[in-house]
Structure 1
Amino acid sequence: MSSSDAPLDLSLDGGALTARLVDFPSVSGDEQALADAVESALRALPHLAVDRYGNNVVARTNLGRPERVLLAGHLDTVPIADNVPSYVDGDLLYGCGTSDMKSGVAVQLRLAATLTEPNHDLTFVFYDCEEIEASRNGLGHLAKHRPDWLAADFAILMEPSGAMVEGGCQGTMRAQIALTGTRAHAARSWLGDNAIHHAAELLGRLASYEPRRVEIDGLEYREGLNAVKIEGGVAGNVIPDECVVTVNFRFAPDRSEAEAEDHLREVFAGYRVLVTDSAPGALPGLAQPAAQAFLAATGGRARAKFGWTDVARFSALGVPAVNYGPGDPNLAHKREEHCSLSAIAEVEDRLRAWLTGS
């Protein structure tokens, strides 16, 4: 029986279950077999109600608790880079997806299987296509077509965070600024107007820009505005009549996308600004009682999430969310990707203690 045919054994410890998941290939767009296995394993648990939409599996308790906590993780990985099957070296488990984020998914499955009397009602979400274009993201599909399945008072995205709470996430926005001139032969450059040279003033604004530092729920978010690409030039003997500078704005979650765009247009007043891509941030929600209890149960330390994650989708639904998982985000997508077995056990133990009041 191949690894993709064998059923998932949720009685395995977290490390062994992570290895089992890693050996079950599920590159983005090819998660059906793993989604089938997850659904089958969860449907065997009488204390859970299980639903499925596409390759997204949702399991819930219905115990009548006053609050509901949601734990979410994606089933897909980036393409395998000769790093499957998994192997163990000391305390480290190596393999594609160990850090991002099959270790987190293993913790979810372990908790789903064993927490029959939690102190909150629980929702477990396993979704597809997180590592590719946003239009295919399974959590986004659920938010659009089955938002009631994601209703909760607090959400934990099991993204790799080094077993430390990372609150919310920053928003991101890309924009293009087009500079124009007049084309001419380089031998008679005085007849032209060099569009690339016009970028100097724009780049000067960026070089002198002072990004905000914003404290929200005790976490400091550091904004950033940077040029990430410059395109221009026609040929080696032509004065260019166009130059396009692409900028990336990482903004704190106290700004909406509209406010972030307004800020860009203020910074680049006098220029044409075309926003080409945007995603909102997510407030950490650490002032919520459930979040405070969770933070205390996981060591009392938290830091801001500087990248963008799917916690923003929960924020858009009005659900405060944090990132918390055993993997190291700096190892995600690497050929040598690995995760600490002790971190997997630590995250599971801390979540179990919090969700049972022990």
Structure 2
Amino acid sequence: MSVVELTRDLVSIPSFEDETAAGDFIAEWLRRETDADVTRDEVGNVIARKGDSTADSLALVGHHDVVEPASSQVAGEEYVAEERDGRLYGRGTADMKGAVAAAMLAFRDSDPAGELVFASFVGEEVGGVGARHAIDEGFAPEYAVVGEGSTGYSSPGVTDVAVAHKGRRGSTITAHGEAAHASEADAGENAIYRATEAVSLVRNLEPPAVEVTGETLEGSVVVTEIDGGTAMNVVPDRCEITVDERTVPGKRAPLDRVEDLEGVEWTVDQDLPPMRCDDEDFAAAVLEAADGAQSATPELVTKPHATDAGWLAAAGTECVVCGPAEPGEAHTDTESVSINVLERCRESYRSIAETWPR
């Protein structure tokens, strides 16, 4: 079976909101095509192991959930998967069933240097539900290659190796006041005014930054929503602000300072961790594998988006990101992936599985 055929099969299976059928397919394929120990946990993650269980483990990691498809990406009970102009189009081709297919084939075909693990998680698109569950249940490979997009970062068409990525912390700042009629404004306490003080504080925060592979990975802190007030003639007693913060490894913006303001509280709603690989030898080995699978010269790069690599890194796994998706492809109505790059990733994954750990 070719990587195109396997990707098409995976893409055609609906896996927005319910990933059960896609997980069934992956697990059944692995049991049929390999002699690996294949398990399916209670949330739907598929994990397979082969090789020397006493050696350090290398995991090829992906996810089989997708975001909601556009109507043009659905035909009856299946999702559309179309091949044209050297690319495969459809929801999930880039993010990230193409990489899952490449990893499945590499897992089957490789003679691993140590213990080789394949893992496809659920719920990556909704905060890493599957990865977090697996980690809580003891999933702890020493090393992982996460197949999220790393193609086209150093230059168009080149599949690079990302050794760091940003995280995302979403939070809410709530300002409390005291309602009053607007004709007697001094009788109340305007929550919007208190909220504007918090906005000013956020605007003046220094975004976190860290040096990785000779470049600066810089985070950001942005107020993205505001909601307050009930009527034109009422002094508001409540105002909420949402903040999008892109975090970097080892550093956070001191958003908790807003709680020093009178009547203001701060709540973290989502916290997707950043990732950085601290094992230079592992990063170099994956780069060597990627280099051997393509005519261009890949580089070690950083990635702006949070992935399941962040959860794994936070739990102690040395991670890199290497995959076929290009910037701007994921989550679009015309999502697609290069067939040549799928083949390249399949070979890269097989190569690193057979040479790492050293």
Taking the TM superposition and a 5 Å limit, the aligned residue runs for 1:279-298 are 279=271, 281-298=273-290
The alpha-carbon deviation at position 219 of structure 1 amounts to 5.2
Aligned to 1:124, the other structure's residue is in SS state: strand
1:276 to 268, 274, 289: 268
Gaps of at least 5 residues in structure 1 are 1-11
Taking the TM superposition and a 5 Å limit, the aligned residue runs for 1:40-59 are 40-54=28-42, 55-59=44-48
Asked if 1:93 is matched to 2:81, the reply is no
Taking the TM superposition and a 5 Å limit, the aligned residue runs for 1:317-356 are 317-356=315-354
> What value does the CA root-mean-square deviation take over the aligned residues?
2.5
Asked if 1:154 is matched to 2:149, the reply is no
TM-score by length of 1: 0.84
Structure 1 runs of 4+ aligned residues shifted over 6 Å read: none
The alpha-carbon deviation at position 53 of structure 1 amounts to 1.3
Q: What percent identity do the matched residue pairs reach?
A: 29
Indicate the residue corresponding to 1:112 in structure 2.
107
Taking the TM superposition and a 5 Å limit, the aligned residue runs for 1:193-232 are 193-216=189-212, 218=214, 220-232=216-228
Distance 2:280 2:322 in 1: 16
Asked if 1:74 is matched to 2:68, the reply is no
Distance 1:282 1:236 in 2: 43
Indicate the residue corresponding to 2:6 in structure 1.
17
Distance 1:204 1:274 in 2: 15
Check whether the contact 2:325–2:337 (CA below 8 A) recurs between aligned residues.
yes
**Residue type at the aligned position of 1:319:** T
Gaps of at least 5 residues in structure 2 are 74-78, 152-158, 292-297
Distance 1:158 1:356, change over 3 A: same
The alpha-carbon deviation at position 230 of structure 1 amounts to 1.1
Check whether the contact 1:28–1:132 (CA below 8 A) recurs between aligned residues.
no
Distance 2:221 2:160 in 1: 27
Shifted more, 172-181 versus 314-323: the winner is 172-181
Aligned to 2:239, the other structure's residue is in SS state: strand
Shifted more, 165-174 versus 246-255: the winner is 165-174
The alpha-carbon deviation at position 73 of structure 1 amounts to 1.1
Indicate the residue corresponding to 1:304 in structure 2.
302
Indicate the residue corresponding to 2:237 in structure 1.
241
Aligned to 1:61, the other structure's residue is in SS state: strand
Indicate the residue corresponding to 1:131 in structure 2.
125
Distance 1:200 1:57, change over 3 A: closer
The alpha-carbon deviation at position 278 of structure 1 amounts to 3.8
Indicate the residue corresponding to 1:7 in structure 2.
none
Residues 59-89 of structure 1, C-alpha deviation per residue, up to 9 Å, x if partnerless? 1112367432101111122233231321112
Distance 1:131 1:212, change over 3 A: closer
Distance 1:340 1:65, change over 3 A: farther
Indicate the residue corresponding to 1:171 in structure 2.
167
The alpha-carbon deviation at position 235 of structure 1 amounts to 0.4
Count of aligned pairs between the two proteins: 335
Distance 1:123 1:219, change over 3 A: farther
Indicate the residue corresponding to 1:8 in structure 2.
none
Distance 2:279 2:124 in 1: 28
The alpha-carbon deviation at position 197 of structure 1 amounts to 2.8
Distance 2:275 2:133 in 1: 21
Distance 2:278 2:325 in 1: 22
